């Protein structure tokens, strides 16, 4: 084990031992924190980001008008599992030494190893009670009856020995969450279809799921609902209503039992991942088809969450963060453009899996009444990895240099104490479907690969969106996003000096033991965050 990993592991152990004794002392005066993490929601999927949206998202628009909206925020990866690793760890998936993949079946083990300090463990150390609800999808360890670890694959679900596998050694409760109600993979796409509650599986997956029993609006929106093994009574159509109710129950129960202790909750939604299965009450609500209804459902749940915080009298004591794990799904993007004139990618090139902007530029909104100035819009560069350092800064947690190595503190951008002319991030990494890298430095973006890095644009429905290659002999792509936000003109040869500069920087940042975050990060702390009238 590397020396840095040993130090990080020791820090995690020390943190766990000290948490119980210091909880009440450290938690005093700290805000509640709720992260709502959407799935496959593109930059153009909210009406606050897209004036030409085919539907309205009034609750998320209100959240933006009462807080801060980031216009240059990015997921760390263009697929879900690596982005979720980044949300919890503050690191790019390349730091795991493993490939970039989305888990299915009993796939694992977790990207979050025992020596990874998670955002949940961090806030636990500061006295928070923690909960996570919805999609987990960072890998899990499952065993068969012989005690052998199972690999992915839908059929392997039948080989799980639940007695040997639970409590899960790398589930949410082993990674800093006091309470959890999650699904192992995509809740309605990738079997195994079962619920995991506090590390246990109340009902094993024992029935074969038949996609044909689910609705299929316009004969296509059920796409990507895979056959596989499910638990009896498993719910597909109202998955997010279930996750939302569990989140609210956690908040209400905690407020009733421990009103002086802050809470940290993650609601990881299924919306707007395939298949598109809006709950019954939202059918036809958007005027923009099934996927429009789906996003309107997510917006409504955000409205209900904000209302609940107000009813409980904790609205001004709660930071709410809204973010997405990657850009919009390919066929969803195409069908919404064709059927409803709606561009889920917000005018950017690319979609989910792609290294172009449409694959990873996503919404990021933060709301904290009385602390974050209302109506802020910032151009500061931001990444999913940054939520760890931002929360650490807020709660006064000193991040060791060896953890969250790709995480920058965005609090100054949220609070309006740092101008957009003073970049918080000097550079940013993202990774596409195959794990290939993209790097941003100011207006410049370099992709260390040709093509999308994810989807194929040479045939099928995506061929209509292929752009001519302006530097066919190049081995990578260089774009000036200030002049060319659509990434149409590859400057690989034209600006050789800039390209070599970014190539060298990328090599240094991604080397073994590399990092992008600064050393010696100092938290801001609540005593320096003014309450605004």
Tell me 478's DSSP state.
E
Burial class (CB in 10 A: 0-12, 13-18, 19+), 495: middle
Helices 289-311, 330-340: axis angle to 10 degrees equals 100
Q: How far is CA 510 from the centre of its chain?
A: 21
Query: Active-site residue among 59, 74, 80, 209?
Result: 80
On whether the CB atoms of residues 411 and 394 are closer than 8 A, the answer is yes
On whether the CB atoms of residues 143 and 164 are closer than 8 A, the answer is yes
Query: Active-site residue among 137, 209, 323, 342?
Result: 137
Q: How far is CA 306 from the centre of its chain?
A: 20
Q: What is the rounded distance in angstroms from the CA atom of residue 149 to the CA atom of residue 143?
A: 4
Contacts (Cβ under 8 Å, ≥6 apart) of 109: 139, 140, 141, 149, 170
Q: What is the rounded distance in angstroms from the CA atom of residue 327 to the CA atom of residue 361?
A: 7
Q: Residue holding tokens 């050789």?
A: 496
Phi and psi of 61, rounded to 5°?
A: -65, -40
Burial class (CB in 10 A: 0-12, 13-18, 19+), 232: exposed
Strands, sheet with 364-367, edge to edge from the N-terminal-most edge strand: 196-197, 179-183, 129-135, 263-268, 32-38, 318-324, 364-367, 68-70, 376-378
3-state secondary structure of 428: strand
Phi and psi of 461, rounded to 5°?
A: -65, -20
| Residue 80 designated active-site | yes
Q: 318: which 2 tokens?
A: 């709660």
Give, rounded to a whole angstrom, the gap between the first and last alpha carbons of the chain: 51
C-alpha distances in angstroms, 190 versus 105, 184, 186, 317, 358? 7, 9, 5, 37, 24
Q: What is the rounded distance in angstroms from the CA atom of residue 173 to the CA atom of residue 15?
A: 15
Phi and psi of 257, rounded to 5°?
A: -95, -35
| Number of other CB atoms surrounding residue 246 within 10 Å | 22
State the DSSP string of 157-208.
Answer: GGG--HHHH-S-TTSGGGTT-SEEEEESS-TTTSS-B--EETTB-SS---EE
Compute, in degrees rounded to 10, the torsion defined by CA atoms 111, 112, 114, 116.
Answer: 120
| Residue 94 designated active-site | no
Instruction: Return the active site residues.
Output: 80, 137
């Amino acid at each position: 084990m590397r020396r840095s990993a040993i130090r990080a592991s020791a820090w995690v152990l020390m943190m766990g031992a000290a948490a119980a004794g210091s909880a009440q002392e450290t938690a005093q005066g700290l805000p509640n924190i709720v992260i709502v993490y959407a799935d496959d929601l593109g930059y153009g999927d909210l009406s606050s980001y897209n004036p030409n949206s085919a539907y309205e998202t009034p609750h998320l628009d209100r959240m933006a008008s009462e807080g801060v909206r980031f216009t240059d925020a990015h997921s760390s990866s263009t697929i879900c599992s690596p982005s979720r690793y980044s949300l919890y760890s503050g690191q790019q998936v390349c730091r795991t030494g493993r490939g970039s993949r989305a888990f299915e079946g009993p796939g694992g083990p977790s990207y979050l190893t025992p020596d990874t300090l998670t955002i949940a463990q961090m806030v636990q150390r500061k006295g928070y009670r923690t909960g996570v609800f919805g999609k987990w999808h960072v890998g899990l360890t499952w065993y068969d009856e012989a005690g052998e670890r199972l690999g992915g694959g839908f059929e392997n679900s039948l080989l799980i020995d639940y007695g040997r596998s639970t409590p899960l050694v790398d589930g949410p409760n082993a990674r800093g969450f006091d309470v959890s109600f999650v699904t192992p993979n995509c809740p309605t796409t990738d079997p195994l279809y079962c619920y995991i509650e506090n590390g246990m599986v109340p009902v094993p997956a024992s029935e074969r799921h038949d996609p044909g029993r689910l609705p299929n609006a316009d004969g296509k929106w059920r796409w990507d609902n895979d056959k596989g093994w499910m638990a009896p009574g498993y719910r597909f159509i109202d998955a997010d209503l279930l996750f939302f109710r569990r989140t609210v129950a956690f908040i209400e129960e905690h407020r009733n039992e421990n009103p002086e202790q802050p809470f940290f909750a993650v609601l990881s939604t299924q919306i707007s991942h395939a298949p598109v299965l809006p709950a019954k009450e939202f059918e036809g609500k958007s005027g923009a088809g099934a996927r429009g209804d789906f996003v309107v459902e997510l917006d409504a749940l955000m409205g209900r969450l904000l209302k609940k915080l107000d009813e409980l009298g904790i609205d001004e004591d709660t930071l709410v963060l809204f973010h997405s794990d990657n850009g919009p799904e390919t066929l969803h993007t195409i069908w919404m453009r064709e059927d409803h004139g709606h561009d889920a990618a917000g005018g950017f090139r690319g979609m989910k899996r792609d290294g172009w902007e449409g694959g990873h530029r996503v919404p990021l909104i933060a709301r904290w009444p009385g602390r974050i100035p209302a109506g802020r819009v910032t151009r500061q560069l931001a990444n999913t990895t940054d939520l760890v350092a931002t929360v650490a800064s807020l709660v006064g947690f000193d991040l060791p240099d060896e953890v969250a190595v790709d995480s920058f503190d965005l609090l100054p951008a949220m609070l309006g104490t740092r101008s957009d002319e003073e970049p918080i991030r000097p550079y940013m990494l993202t990774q596409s479907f195959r794990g290939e890298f993209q790097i941003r430095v100011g207006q410049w973006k370099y992709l260390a690969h040709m093509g999308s890095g994810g989807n194929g644009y040479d045939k099928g429905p995506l061929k209509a969106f292929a752009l001519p290659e302006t530097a066919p002999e190049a081995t990578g792509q260089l774009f000036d996003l200030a002049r060319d936000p659509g990434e149409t003109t590859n400057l690989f040869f034209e600006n050789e000096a800039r390209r070599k500069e970014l190539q060298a920087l990328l090599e240094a940042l991604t080397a073994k033991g590399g990092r992008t975050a600064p050393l010696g990060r100092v938290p801001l702390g609540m005593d320096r965050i003014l309450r605004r009238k």
